Amino acid sequence: MPSQDTCVLTAAGLKKLALNQECRDAFNRDSLFFRLFERAAQRYIVSSSLDGLPEKLKLLWDKGYRLGVEYVGEENHDPRVVQAFVDEYLKSIQVFAEAKLTPQLGFDLSAVGMLISAETAYRNAATILSAAAEHNIPVMISMEHSSAVDKILEIYSKLAPDHSNVGLTVQAHLHRTVNDLPAIIGHGRKIRLVKGVYNEAPEVALPRGAELDERYLKLLADILDAGVPVSCATQDPGLIQRIFDQGLHTRIHELEMLHGVQPEALRKAREAGVACRIAAVYGDSWYLHFLHRLAESPENVLEALADFYDPSRIVFGAGY
């Protein structure tokens, strides 16, 4: 096994590669990386489009899981791309309603116009929230790089009072979260608590480790004590065990994991009586999502290479 230092540097390298603008600009259906790893990415990407997605979601629903859905795409500067992204969500709401599914939708505000203006993001997010509310579909706003947090909180503070179906993702690793949390709790909307996936400077965020786990558990306790529904979105088996050991699993709204990541662990939690949500991702712009999944552990890198060699290893729903 590689040393701990090597694992940490490997994860950092994959995240750096994920954020490399030249690589991201070159990624499309015709790119070599797409053609080589499209099949391997299907371990984490549920579908390339809405076609066939409801059937796959229903398979997971019938196994007893709550569902989450996110269309991959982020940091859109082009108004036409932003509108196409919004239209995709509006279309998906109708598709899910017709299939009698109510998955929790998720998206980045940078994907719906925040890089154009805060007002554009607010308007587009409100449009999606209103359409989703008509079919009792909840929506979770994602959190992004630390440089975007102020603007995200500003937009969320305008959305939360008028949309009961909105929630917000909170990153435990950011130092500022300790001070931001009381105001977020004050809105009374659902909170999705994550460790945080972005590479941040030490003065901005904690690295993975014991100190971050302690902060996560402290933030979780604060949210629970405030009586606000909270989703523990984590793939860390050690942290999940501590949530169980401290009895917090009986108080949380749900445990959430991304599709394809440790399905057996999520199944065991469900069998133990915990409500569990599978967060499914679909679409063609999977470069960032795929590399972030590989960065989570050396085993994921090896598994991706094995999947590249033999795509038949990937069986949808297996392990759940």
pLDDT digits (tens, 9 = 90+) for 182-241: 999 999 999 999 999 888 999 999 998 999 999 999 999 999 999 999 999 999 999 999
| Domains in the chain with CATH codes | 49-283 (3.20.20.220)
Segment 62-77 mean pLDDT: 91
Q: What is the amino acid identity at position 210?
A: A
Residue for token pair 């290893």? 313
Mean pLDDT of 129-135: 98
Which structure tokens are listed for 166?
Answer: 């909105």
Confidence of residue 112 (pLDDT cuts 50, 70, 90): very high
Q: In this structure, what token pair is assigned to residue 305?
A: 């290479």
Q: Give the pairing type, strands 166-171 and 139-141.
A: parallel
- Give this prediction's pTM: 0.93
Query: For 64-78, 131-145, 260-274, which range has the lowest pLDDT when averaged over its residues?
Result: 64-78
Contact (CB, 8 A) for 256 and 279? yes
Reported confidence tier of residue 298, pLDDT bands at 50, 70, 90:
confident
> Is residue 73 predicted with pLDDT exceeding 90?
no
- Give, in degrees to the nearest 5, the angle at Cα 152 between 78 and 186: 155
Which pLDDT value is given to residue 297? Answer: 84
pLDDT score for 1: 65
Token pair 């209103």 is at which residue? 130
| Residue 180 confidence class, pLDDT cut points 50, 70, 90 | very high
pLDDT confidence band for 248 (50 / 70 / 90): very high
Distance CA 149, CA 168 (A): 11
pLDDT of 76 strictly over 90: no
Count other Cβ atoms within 10 Å, centred on residue 30.
Answer: 8
pLDDT category of residue 74 using cuts at 50, 70 and 90? low
Query: Above pLDDT 90, what percent of the chain?
Result: 87
Mean pLDDT across the chain: 95
Residues whose CB falls within 8 Å of the CB of residue 250, separated by 6 or more in sequence, listed in order: none
Q: What is the pLDDT of residue 39?
A: 94
pLDDT value at 244 more than 80: yes
Q: Confirm if 70 and 97 have CB atoms less than 8 A apart.
A: no
C-alpha 264/C-alpha 267 separation (Å) is 5
Residue 32 has pLDDT above 70, yes or no: yes
Kindly state the average pLDDT of the residues 67-90: 92
